[in-house]
Amino acid sequence: MATRKKKLPKLSKKPRRSVSPRMKGEPSPKPRARATSRLHQVNLKTARSALHELTQPVTVRERLAWLETRGAPDYLALARMEQGAVGAERWYLFPPVPIEEQRAEVQAVYRESFAQSQWAAQKKKVLRSYTANFPHLAFDPDSWLWPLWQEWRARYEPADRQLLSALANGIKGRGAGWMSSARYRAWILGQARLRLAHLKKDRGVNNLYKQYLEGTRSRDGGVQMETRKRVLPRLVERIQQLSGHLATGSELQKWKLSGVLRRAVARSLGVRERDLH
C-alpha cells in the first residue's frame, strides 16, 4: 500500500532578525538621536550668528556649549548691550568685559560642569574640553583644578589615571593652531558664512545672472540660444574668479545662483553645505 509523503513546511527565505529585549525603564535610541540633533542645531546657531542675535545662556550646559563653540564668554556682554537705530539701520554696542571677569567665568563654568557630572565618562569629557580649549586656565596654580590633579597624580589609582589621561588627551587632541577642533569648526563656519554673504553682494555676478535669467526665460528661442552663447560664459567666468568653482548651465538651472555659490564656498572651506542655509 502506497504511503503518502508528508509535506515539509516551507522555510522563510529571510531569516528572522533577533531583537534583544529592552529593559524596563531603558530609553529608546530614537529620542536620544533627536536630542543630539537639537543640541547640534543649537551649537550651529551659536557659531554662525552674531552676538546680538543670540540669547543669554542660562544653564551650565548652555554656557559650556557656548564656550566650546565661540571660545570666549562673550555672553557676559549681552547684559550690557546698548542698541539704537539710525534711519532704517540698527546699531549695537557691547562694552568691553574685563579679562579677569572672563577668566573667572570660564573657570566657574568648568568647575560647575565637573561637579555636576555623575559618571566618569562625563568628567573625562569636561576635562578634555577644558585642556583643549583653555589650557592656560586649566593649569593655573590658582584654579580649582590644580589641587585636584596634583592629588590624582599623588594617589595614582586606576580612576585617577583615567582622569589624568583625559587631561593629556585634551592637549594632544587635533586642532588648528591655538584652537581645538570644536572651536575651529565654529570659526571656519563663521568665515564661510561671511564669504558667502560677500559673494552674494557682488554686483557683477548679480547683473550677469539677471541677464541670464531674462534671456533663458524668453519665449523666443533665438534669444535663449544667444543668451547661452554670450551671457553664460561670462557668468561662469565671473563665478570662477570669485569662488574658484567652475559652474555649468545645468547647475545654475537646478540650484540657482545662491545654491551654486553656497556649494562653491562649502567645497573650498570644507564645511557642510546644509550648515550655510
Using the 3D structure, point to which of 105, 140, 173 is the last residue of a domain.
Answer: 173
pLDDT at 258: 92
Mean of pLDDT values over 115-128 = 93
Using the 3D structure, point to which of 117, 143, 173 is the last residue of a domain.
Answer: 173
In sign, the C-alpha dihedral spanning 196, 200, 203, 204 is positive
Please tell me the distance from the alpha carbon of residue 240 to that of residue 253, in angstroms, as a whole number: 17
Identify the domain containing residue 192 by its residue range: 182-276
153 and 261 within one domain? no
pLDDT digits (tens, 9 = 90+) for 201-259: 999 999 999 999 999 888 888 888 999 999 999 999 999 998 888 888 889 988 899 99
Cell 539677471 belongs to 210
Mean of pLDDT values over 36-63 = 67
Mean of pLDDT values over 51-69 = 84
Adjacent-strand bridge partners of 85: 90
Mean pLDDT, the chain, rounded, equals 81
Mean of pLDDT values over 185-208 = 88
pLDDT digits (tens, 9 = 90+) for 137-186: 999 999 999 999 999 999 999 999 999 999 998 888 766 666 667 777 77
144 and 56 within one domain? yes
The three-state secondary structure class of 92 is strand
- At residue 16 the predicted structure's pLDDT band, cuts being 50, 70 and 90, is low
Please tell me the distance from the alpha carbon of residue 38 to that of residue 260, in angstroms, as a whole number: 27
pLDDT at 276: 86
Does pLDDT of 5 surpass 60?
A: no
Asked, for residue 23, whether it belongs to a domain, the answer is: no
End-to-end CA distance of the chain: 81
Residue pair 102/63 in contact by the 8 Å Cβ criterion: no
Mean of pLDDT values over 20-46 = 48
Among the residue ranges 19-28, 96-105, 233-242, 257-266, the one predicted with the least confidence is 19-28
Does pLDDT of 36 surpass 50?
A: no
pTM: 0.59
Asked, for residue 1, whether it belongs to a domain, the answer is: no
Asked, for residue 116, whether it belongs to a domain, the answer is: yes
